[in-house]
Amino acid sequence: MLSIFLLISAAFFSIGLLAALSRRHAIFILIGIEMMLAAASLNFVAFWRFGPSPHQPTGVMIAIFAIAIAAAEAAVGLALVIAVYRHYRTTSVDQLDQLKG
């Protein structure tokens, strides 16, 4: 039973990796990173549920903190996308190829 959840989590992670690697739009890359983080927290909860000591809430706690940090990361990332769009008038990461302001 645990390996089924691990497989689903691995598939979710791979789909997030696909979105982060193969799309050119910056928002898609953020969506992919969010999916990868959520797949990791699914793994934590699955190990907590099927692990040897499910009465300690360790896995659930790690997942809660991971969700909070992912929310902060999404806020900063989307703010960066808006700032970049104001400056360059595009959000395609292929055209953002200079560090000069």
Partner 1 sequence: MNTAALAIIAIFTLSAALAAATLPKLMHAALMFAAAFVGLAAFFFLLSAEFLGLVLVFVYVGAVAVLIVFTILLTRHDLEKDRGFNLSGIIVAIAVFIGLAIAIFKTGSLPVVTPEIPTLTVKQIGAALMTDYVWPLQCVGILLTAALIGALILVIEEKK
Residues 65-84 that bind partner 1 (CB under 8 A): 65, 67-76, 78-83
Can residue 21 be called a binding residue for partner 1 (CB under 8 A)? yes
Residue placing its CB nearer to partner 1 in the complex, 32 or 99: 32
SS3 92: strand
| Residue 30 within binding range of partner 1, rule CB under 8 A | yes
Rounded to an integer, what distance in angstroms lies between the CA atom of residue 26 and that of residue 30? 6
Q: Looking at residue 95, what DSSP letter applies?
A: S
Q: Does 96 bind partner 1 (CB under 8 A)?
A: no
Round to whole Å and give the CA distance between 66 and 88: 32
What is the smallest separation between the CB atom of 27 and partner 1, expressed in angstroms? Answer: 6
CA atoms within 13 A on the CB side of 62: 15
Best CA proximity match to 37, nearest among 61, 64, 56: 64
Q: For binding to partner 1 (CB under 8 A), which residues are involved? A: 1-8, 10-19, 21-25, 27-28, 30-32, 34-35, 38, 42, 45-46, 48-52, 54-55, 57, 60-61, 63-65, 67-76, 78-83, 85, 89-92
